[in-house]
């Protein structure tokens, strides 16, 4: 049986997990679930990196021993992974005895074979990154990685003869184009390898750092945290402890990393493996970073996204879906609440959720819920089936090419094809006309398409897709993609009417932004009879006068940071200056707004929109994708009452 072994970086237990950690782990989980679904023998390893300066510092800050700090912090990761439905086969902690023993044995073996030697060394040390740099590595005398101050340190240390593998590594990267992906990252490593490679300092004197694995051949030292951590990928699958297991899984099929830890994984790690006489992983895949408002997330900027907030808002599966669908693998992606909600509402609430509720309702109306038989197929049915087949093929190839977002996009295309199919075949008309055979074929074809879509998306949204299949009348046991070809089909299943799978999220919007209207709501509004005085919803002139509308002149306009749709306007109302926030950035640039005369609701209660104060609301009309400001059609001073 083909095997698939996937790993994530192991995370430092110095802080609580954030979206970056959640992303890599969900990605690994999705890859593992897909590969299981494709029938491959799969192992998924994740865990925590518990030694080194960062963890020691964090423990000191909390005034507790480092092991206690690790034991407490690790729970945050484990709880989040449980919440996120992470199906790892092993969660490794580098403070586990078994791992420590493997590290010591590897060190001793390399030392005995002359791969590790002792030497005096003077270098520039960055405490934050726990790394030594040479003079020429420094940028403006500061750490080339993080820009912080570095300190000159001379000490005796142990070194791994990494330099001797430089040519071999260059050849390996060149001869194995799938070793470092995306390929531009391979070029980055090859660029790094143009300079002579130094040997790697793999020890830290205990006088400077005590929280680490003691060197077996010199008890005055502990192991450099990266040398210890990288070995988790082999110790986690039985290296030197369980030969059979190790043989079964190593080399890894895919090691997922973030782009910031490329050098350690594509230079240190392969040379370590070479010295250990072990084969290299097939692929090391470096993904991009999640940014917020196009900025790097950092604690000091206070813009770190906490996965729990989004999970609470929309549920675990929607969060997993967003992470997978939004980031094109390898590149950076932007996380904002707006993009999250807008993707949720369009892909999940509108497209997928809608298709399910339409199919279920129509089928219950037509047959009482039993999925009927499919008879002769016409071109519309064939077109729908082709869209689903294309999604199945795209999903498999996107997995192989690490283009998951594209695979997901093709599944959503199939969902949209399903909605178009219903519009076109109009089962409600078929029912009215008594065209039962055709009606049955349409309903069963749409349900079958949904079923296959659920199988394809199950690795991304396991619980929701299981619910979807249960709504179609399945047991909730989601079959694997590999089983689709031979699946006996879903005709005869009895559907259940369920609440919406993905209830729409009502966005907290800038006051002016018109509430998003569904086509249905718009139709309903058009069809509504003309209002009559005295009926509910009708106001008197006095009611209207309670709203104070005034002309206002826009003096200044700028975008609201981190909110794509919002503009902050400084407006003049006669002698008064005010600030309002308005959701018009998609339609008007700040430059276009300056100088415009607008109409505002002047007596609206003040509000904070994305943390920015808004004192009033401007008037605009929107139809479809067009938004138009309401402006006086003659020259008017600002502050004039409108009514």
Rule CB under 6 A: is residue 427 a binding residue for ligand MSP?
A: no
Binding window for ligand MSP (CB under 6 A); candidates: 7-15, 455-463, 610-618, 620-628: 7-15
Rule CB under 6 A: is residue 91 a binding residue for ligand MSP?
A: no
Rule CB under 6 A: is residue 258 a binding residue for ligand MSP?
A: yes
b/e per residue, 545-575, with b = 16+ CB within 10 A? Answer: eeeebbbbbbeebeebebbbbbbbbebbbee
Which of residues 229 and 252 has its CB atom nearest to ligand MSP in the complex? Answer: 229
Rule CB under 6 A: is residue 329 a binding residue for ligand MSP?
A: no
Rule CB under 6 A: is residue 167 a binding residue for ligand MSP?
A: no
Rule CB under 6 A: is residue 185 a binding residue for ligand MSP?
A: no
CB of 7 to ligand MSP, least distance (A): 8
Which helix (H) or strand (E) is 381 found in, with range?
Answer: helix 379-400
Q: What is the 3-state secondary structure (H, E, C) of 311-360?
A: HHHHCHHHHHHHHHHHCCCCCCEECCHHHHHHHHHHHHHHHHHHHHHHHH
Query: How far does the chain reach from its first CA to its final CA, in angstroms?
Result: 77
Vertex 397: Cα angle to 395 and 403 (nearest 5) = 75
Rule CB under 6 A: is residue 321 a binding residue for ligand MSP?
A: no
Rule CB under 6 A: is residue 260 a binding residue for ligand MSP?
A: yes
Rule CB under 6 A: is residue 297 a binding residue for ligand MSP?
A: yes
- How far apart (Å, rounded) are the C-alpha atoms in residues 72 and 212? 18
* Residue appearing with tokens 């276009």: 592
CB of 628 to ligand MSP, least distance (A): 39
Rule CB under 6 A: is residue 402 a binding residue for ligand MSP?
A: no
Single out the residue of 70, 102, 222, 230 in contact with ligand MSP (rule: CB under 6 A).
230
Rule CB under 6 A: is residue 84 a binding residue for ligand MSP?
A: no
CA torsion 556→562→565→571, rounded to 10°? -20
| CA-wise closest residue to 52 among 227, 233, 264, 272 | 227
Residue list 103-162, contact with ligand MSP (CB under 6 A): none
Rule CB under 6 A: is residue 21 a binding residue for ligand MSP?
A: yes
Which of residues 163 and 264 has its CB atom nearest to ligand MSP in the complex? Answer: 264
CB of 221 to ligand MSP, least distance (A): 20
Which of residues 43 and 289 has its CB atom nearest to ligand MSP in the complex? Answer: 289
Report the residue count for the chain: 643
Rule CB under 6 A: is residue 201 a binding residue for ligand MSP?
A: no
- How far apart (Å, rounded) are the C-alpha atoms in residues 406 and 355? 21
Binding window for ligand MSP (CB under 6 A); candidates: 4-12, 111-119, 154-162, 194-202: 4-12
Binding window for ligand MSP (CB under 6 A); candidates: 258-266, 315-323, 462-470, 596-604: 258-266
- How far apart (Å, rounded) are the C-alpha atoms in residues 250 and 81? 24
Which of residues 289 and 451 has its CB atom nearest to ligand MSP in the complex? Answer: 289
Residue list 589-628, contact with ligand MSP (CB under 6 A): none
Rule CB under 6 A: is residue 66 a binding residue for ligand MSP?
A: no
For residue 457 the two structure tokens come to 């998306």
- How far apart (Å, rounded) are the C-alpha atoms in residues 511 and 605? 11
Rule CB under 6 A: is residue 229 a binding residue for ligand MSP?
A: yes
- How far apart (Å, rounded) are the C-alpha atoms in residues 134 and 274? 25
Rounded to 10°, the helix 379-400/404-425 angle is: 170
Which of residues 49 and 115 has its CB atom nearest to ligand MSP in the complex? Answer: 49
For residue 21 the two structure tokens come to 């950690």
Helix and strand counts by DSSP (H, E) for the chain: 24, 27
Rule CB under 6 A: is residue 228 a binding residue for ligand MSP?
A: no
Rule CB under 6 A: is residue 182 a binding residue for ligand MSP?
A: no
CB of 229 to ligand MSP, least distance (A): 4
Residue nearest to ligand MSP (CB): 258
Rule CB under 6 A: is residue 28 a binding residue for ligand MSP?
A: no
Single out the residue of 290, 322, 402, 493 in contact with ligand MSP (rule: CB under 6 A).
290
> What one-character DSSP code corresponds to residue 259?
G
Which of residues 190 and 261 has its CB atom nearest to ligand MSP in the complex? Answer: 261
Rule CB under 6 A: is residue 11 a binding residue for ligand MSP?
A: yes
Residue 68 has a CB neighbour count (10 Å cut-off) of 11
What does the radius of gyration of the chain's CA atoms come to, in whole angstroms?
A: 30
Which helix (H) or strand (E) is 221 found in, with range?
Answer: strand 218-223
For residue 252 the two structure tokens come to 């890894």
CB of 213 to ligand MSP, least distance (A): 14
Rule CB under 6 A: is residue 261 a binding residue for ligand MSP?
A: yes
Rule CB under 6 A: is residue 29 a binding residue for ligand MSP?
A: no
Beta-bridge mates of residue 568: 558, 581
CB of 272 to ligand MSP, least distance (A): 11
CB of 531 to ligand MSP, least distance (A): 51
Rule CB under 6 A: is residue 562 a binding residue for ligand MSP?
A: no
Rule CB under 6 A: is residue 49 a binding residue for ligand MSP?
A: yes
Rule CB under 6 A: is residue 384 a binding residue for ligand MSP?
A: no
Q: Name 554's Cβ contacts closer than 8 Å, sequence gap at least 6.
A: 569, 570, 571, 593, 594, 595, 596, 597, 598
> What one-character DSSP code corresponds to residue 279?
P
Single out the residue of 4, 5, 6, 23 in contact with ligand MSP (rule: CB under 6 A).
23
CB of 161 to ligand MSP, least distance (A): 21
Count residues contacting ligand MSP (CB under 6 A)? 18
Rule CB under 6 A: is residue 24 a binding residue for ligand MSP?
A: yes
Residue 262 has a CB neighbour count (10 Å cut-off) of 18
- Whether 455 and 484 have beta carbons less than 8 Å apart is answered as yes
SS3 (DSSP) at 121: strand
CB of 9 to ligand MSP, least distance (A): 4
- How far apart (Å, rounded) are the C-alpha atoms in residues 239 and 254? 17
CB of 130 to ligand MSP, least distance (A): 10
For residue 431 the two structure tokens come to 């029912």
- How far apart (Å, rounded) are the C-alpha atoms in residues 437 and 21? 52
Rule CB under 6 A: is residue 100 a binding residue for ligand MSP?
A: no
Binding window for ligand MSP (CB under 6 A); candidates: 16-24, 70-78, 186-194, 548-556: 16-24
Contact residues toward ligand MSP (CB under 6 A) are: 9-12, 20-21, 23-24, 49, 229-230, 257-258, 260-261, 289-290, 297
């Amino acid at each position: 049986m083909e095997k698939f072994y996937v790993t994530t970086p192991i995370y430092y237990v110095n802080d609580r997990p954030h979206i970056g950690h959640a992303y890599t782990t969900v990605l690994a989980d999705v890859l593992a679930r897909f590969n299981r679904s494709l029938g491959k023998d799969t192992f998924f390893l994740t865990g925590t990196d518990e030694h080194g300066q960062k963890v020691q510092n964090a423990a000191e800050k909390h005034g507790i021993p480092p092991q206690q700090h690790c034991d407490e912090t690790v729970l945050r990761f484990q709880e989040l992974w449980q919440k996120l439905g992470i199906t790892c086969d092993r969660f490794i902690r580098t403070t586990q005895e078994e791992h420590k023993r493997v590290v010591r044995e590897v060190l001793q073996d390399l030392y005995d074979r002359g791969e590790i030697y002792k030497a005096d060394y003077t270098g520039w040390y960055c405490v934050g990154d726990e790394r030594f740099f040479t003079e020429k590595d420094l940028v403006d005398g500061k750490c080339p990685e993080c820009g912080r101050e570095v300190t000159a340190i001379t000490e005796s240390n142990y070194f791994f003869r990494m330099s001797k593998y430089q040519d071999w590594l260059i050849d390996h990267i060149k001869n194995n184009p799938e070793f470092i992906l995306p390929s531009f990252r391979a070029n980055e490593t090859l660029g790094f390898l143009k300079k002579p490679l130094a040997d790697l300092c793999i020890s830290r004197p205990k006088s400077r750092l005590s929280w680490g694995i003691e060197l077996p051949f010199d008890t005055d030292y502990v192991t450099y945290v990266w040398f210890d951590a990288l070995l988790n990928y082999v110790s986690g699958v039985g290296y030197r402890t369980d030969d059979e297991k190790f043989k079964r899984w190593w080399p890894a099929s895919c090691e997922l990393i973030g782009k910031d830890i490329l050098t350690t994984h594509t230079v240190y790690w392969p040379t370590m493996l070479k010295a250990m006489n072990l084969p290299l992983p097939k692929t090391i895949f470096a993904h991009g970073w999640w940014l917020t408002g196009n900025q790097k997330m950092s604690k000091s900027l206070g813009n770190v996204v906490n996965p729990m907030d989004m999970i609470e808002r929309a549920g675990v599966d929607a969060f997993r879906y967003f992470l997978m669908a939004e980031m094109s693998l390898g590149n950076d992606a932007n996380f904002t609440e707006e993009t999250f909600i807008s993707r949720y509402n369009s892909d999940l609430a509108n497209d997928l959720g809608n298709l399910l509720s339409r199919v279920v309702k129509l089928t219950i109306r037509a047959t009482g819920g039993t999925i009927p038989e499919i008879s002769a197929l016409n071109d519309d049915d064939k077109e729908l089936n082709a869209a689903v087949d294309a999604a199945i093929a795209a999903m498999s190839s996107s997995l192989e090419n690490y283009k998951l977002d594209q695979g997901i996009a093709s599944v959503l295309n199939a969902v949209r094809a399903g909605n178009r199919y219903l519009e076109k075949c109009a089962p409600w008309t078929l029912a009215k006309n008594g065209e039962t055979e055709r009606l049955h074929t349409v309903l069963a074809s749409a349900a079958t398409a949904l079923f296959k879509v659920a199988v394809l998306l199950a690795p991304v949204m396991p619980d929701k897709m299981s619910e979807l299949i249960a709504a179609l009348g399945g047991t909730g046991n989601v079959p694997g993609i590999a089983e689709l070809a031979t699946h006996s089909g879903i005709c005869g299943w009895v559907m259940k009417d369920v609440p919406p799978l993905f209830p729409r999220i009502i966005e907290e919007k800038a006051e002016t932004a018109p509430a998003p209207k569904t086509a249905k709501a718009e139709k309903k509004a058009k069809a509504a009879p003309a209002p009559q005085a005295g009926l509910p919803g009708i106001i008197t002139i006095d009611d209207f006068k309670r709203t104070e509308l005034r002309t206002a002149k826009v003096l200044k306009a700028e975008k609201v940071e981190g909110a794509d749709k919002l503009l902050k306007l400084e407006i003049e109302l006669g002698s008064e200056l005010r600030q309002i926030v308005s959701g018009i950035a998609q339609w008007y640039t700040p430059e276009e707004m300056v100088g415009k005369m607008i109409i505002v609701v002047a007596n609206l209660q003040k509000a904070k929109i994305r943390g920015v104060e808004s004192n009033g609301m401007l008037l605009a009309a929107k139809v479809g994708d067009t938004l138009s400001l309401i402006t006086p059609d003659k020259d008017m001073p600002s502050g004039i009452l409108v009514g």
